[in-house]
């Protein structure tokens, strides 16, 4: 039962964080439609949406973070500890109990994201809306990917992705 609670808490907690970010940023993108944009604004908007969909949504989430998060959800379900369950979303996002390489990259990426949030929050429209539109697309793609892989991790008999646990770079977990 503890493993099930931890796995669901991990999946729901991360999903809530992504939904919260999408909801907070969406008004800035909607505001764009009320502005008189020039051709270069539209070009940058389209370019940014395509770029963020590919880099953040597809490459970042669908091919990287979401399968790993699913593997960590499955690991948590099968090997619960009280600390991992309590901090389920942080565990599933690899903020602890992971390889040193993943740990370093996770914290560097977090610092970079926070810095970008601070910088972009100072942008005036239409620039903020243009940036945020791409972020909303990438995060929405990420949310769908996380829900897909998280569900597969819990329901499929086999889930061949690594949770990147310490001391093992290629642990694959199957349903037991």
105-163 pLDDT, tens digit per residue, is 999 999 999 999 999 999 999 999 999 999 999 999 999 999 999 999 999 999 999 88
Where b means 16+ CB within 10 Å and e means fewer, 139-158 reads bbbbbebbbebbebbbeeee
The per-residue pLDDT for 46 is 97
> How confident is the model over 11-33, as a mean pLDDT?
96
Confidence of residue 63 (pLDDT cuts 50, 70, 90): very high
Which residues does residue 158 pair with via DSSP β-bridges, in sequence order?
Answer: 174
**DSSP code for 119:** H
Nearest one of 85, 80, 75, 84 to 164, comparing CA atoms: 75
With tokens 């989430």, the residue in question is 61
Q: What is the sign, positive or negative, of the torsion defined by CA atoms of 52, 54, 55, 60?
A: positive
CB 95 within 8 A of CB 109: no
Average pLDDT rounded to a whole number, residues 5-24: 97
d(CA 28, CA 69): 29
- Are 126 and 32 in contact, with CB atoms under 8 Å apart? yes
Provide mean pLDDT across the span 20-28.
96
């Amino acid at each position: 039962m503890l493993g099930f609670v931890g796995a669901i808490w991990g999946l729901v907690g991360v999903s809530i964080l992504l939904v919260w970010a999408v909801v907070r940023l969406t008004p800035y993108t909607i505001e764009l439609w009320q502005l008189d944009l020039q051709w270069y604004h539209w070009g940058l908007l389209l370019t940014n949406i395509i770029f963020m969909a590919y880099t953040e949504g597809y490459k970042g989430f669908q091919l990287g973070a979401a399968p790993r998060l699913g593997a960590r959800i499955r690991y948590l379900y099968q090997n619960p500890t009280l600390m991992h369950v309590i901090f389920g979303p942080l565990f599933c996002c690899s903020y602890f109990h992971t390889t040193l390489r993943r740990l370093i990259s996770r914290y560097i990426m977090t610092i970079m994201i926070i810095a970008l949030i601070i910088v972009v929050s100072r942008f005036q429209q239409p620039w903020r809306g243009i940036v945020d539109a791409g972020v909303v697309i990438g995060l929405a793609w990420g949310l769908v990917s996380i829900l897909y892989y998280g569900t597969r991790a819990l329901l499929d008999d086999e889930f061949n992705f690594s949770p990147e646990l310490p001391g093992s770079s290629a642990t694959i977990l199957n349903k037991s």
